[in-house]
Amino acid sequence: MSPQETTGQAETLDVRGLRKPDKHPAVFAAYDALPVGGSLVLVNDHDPRHLRDEFEAAHPGGHGWEHLVRERGNWRIRITRLAAAPLPRILADTARLAADVGAPGVAGAVWRLDPGDRDLDSNVIALPPEGRIDAHDGPDVDVLVHVLAGSGRLVTELGAVDLAPGAVVWLPRGSRRGFAASEEGLRYLTVHRRRQALAITTAPPRDR
């Protein structure tokens, strides 16, 4: 019998015979094929708690998860599609992320956009007091920067721009840029089209 069959109005997906790396992709593929209001019955040999975590991350509030059978080697869960697409939701509180600007030992990405199926990348970058990102040529994507807290300077090819909370900065693709934090540190949000992860490093504070 194939791992996928129809039982009544709900499709049954038995993943017990699949390789472990294939199980979660198979479930998400079957879920994506459902109409709104449709459901599938997942059959597994254990409680798929990690899969549920993935559904909560990808489709919070937009899916139903109902345990039908909880037996050793035979777990059955009805997964229902409640919305046509992932629901808009709040991902982070930038006021909280900005609250500890300049905290000792905090540098680099302190928040990043997690949903896997997305067109954008976004991070909150923390620079310690007098920390910096050396000038470099940017990637082949436009980047939007929103300064959340602290202050500093954006170094460009021909000069420098002062940065303060509330500033929204446009970094054209390929433009030369560097960041230097003031004595209070600097924290900013970046948003750009999704690409391979950027390697962002910070230099240690300068000696006084």
- Mean local confidence (pLDDT), 129-158: 96
Q: Which two tokens stand for residue 44?
A: 């597994």
Q: Which domain holds residue 30?
A: 4-81
- Are 107 and 183 contained in the same domain? yes
Residue 141 resides in a domain: yes
Tell me the residue length of the chain: 208
Nearest residue to 99 via CA among 90, 91, 114, 110? 110
Q: Is the pLDDT of residue 1 over 50?
A: no
5: tokens are 């069959």
Q: Are residues 132 and 171 in the same domain?
A: yes
Asked whether residue 108 falls in the same domain as residue 189, the answer is yes
Residue 89 within a domain: no
- What pTM did the predictor assign? 0.77
CATH code for the domain in which residue 61 is found: 3.30.110.40
- Domain edge (last residue) among 81, 112, 137: 81
Pull the structure tokens for residue 130.
Answer: 């007098």
Other Cβ atoms less than 10 A from the Cβ of 94: the count is: 16
Domain boundary among 81, 114, 134: 81
DSSP 3-state of 95: helix
Q: With cut-offs at 50, 70 and 90, classify the pLDDT of residue 118.
A: confident
Of residues 7, 42, 50, 46, the one with CA closest to residue 26: 42
Average pLDDT, the chain: 90
Least confident of 43-52, 69-78, 86-95: 86-95
Residue indicated by tokens 């992860």: 197
DSSP state, residue 35: P
* Top-confidence residue, 199 or 97: 97
Taking residues 34-38, report their average pLDDT: 96
Ramachandran category for residue 4: left, alpha or beta (phi over 0 → left; psi -120 to 50 → alpha): beta
- A 10 A CB-CB count for 51 gives 19
The count of structural domains within the chain is 2
Shared domain for 120 and 186, answered yes or no, is yes
Cα separation of 82 and 40, whole Å?
12
CATH number at residue 104: 2.60.120.10
